[in-house]
Amino acid sequence: MKPLRVLCLFVASLLLSGCASNSTTFTPAGAPSQTVGQVEFYDSAPARPHAVLGVIEDHRGNGLHSRATLAADISARARAAGGDAVVLLSCDEEIKGYATTDSLVVPIKKIHRRYQVLKWK
């Protein structure tokens, strides 16, 4: 019975991985990677003249809800501070433990991000 279960799990994983989508994008240097709530998100400092208003520190888990609300949460914080854009300064992951089932091991992570808040001149 055990070999049949392993075979079924293997076939199911192959089928599910075929449904997963991969995406590769190119963002020109100096262009925002996305805009959320009128706040532009950058991976490096833009050439456009700006003043630095401060830094947003974000600490959250790796759950679906946490990832789904990240950009909106950062955008709201930046707007509240008077910002027009943010630049990702750092993103660090810390593994806090593992969730396991019979056939699956998923890391439980705490993700720390730092964003610089910019105001256009």
pLDDT confidence of residue 112: 93
pLDDT confidence of residue 102: 84
Both tokens assigned to 11: 């076939």
pLDDT along the chain (121 residues), means of 10: 57 51 66 89 93 96 79 96 96 90 87 96 94
Domain count across the chain: 1
Contact 87, 44 (CB under 8 A): yes
In a domain, 17, yes or no: no
CATH number of the structural domain spanning residue 41? 3.30.110.70
Contact 55, 47 (CB under 8 A): no
In a domain, 102, yes or no: yes
Both tokens assigned to 10: 């293997």
Report the DSSP beta bridge partners of residue 107: 98
Domain residue limits at 110:
30-120
pLDDT confidence of residue 50: 97
Give the strand order in the sheet containing 85-100: 34-36, 39-42, 85-100, 105-120, 50-61
Encode pLDDT of 59-83 as tens digits: 998 877 677 899 999 999 999 999 9
In a domain, 53, yes or no: yes
Q: How far apart are CA 74 and CA 80, in angstroms?
A: 10
In a domain, 116, yes or no: yes
In a domain, 21, yes or no: no
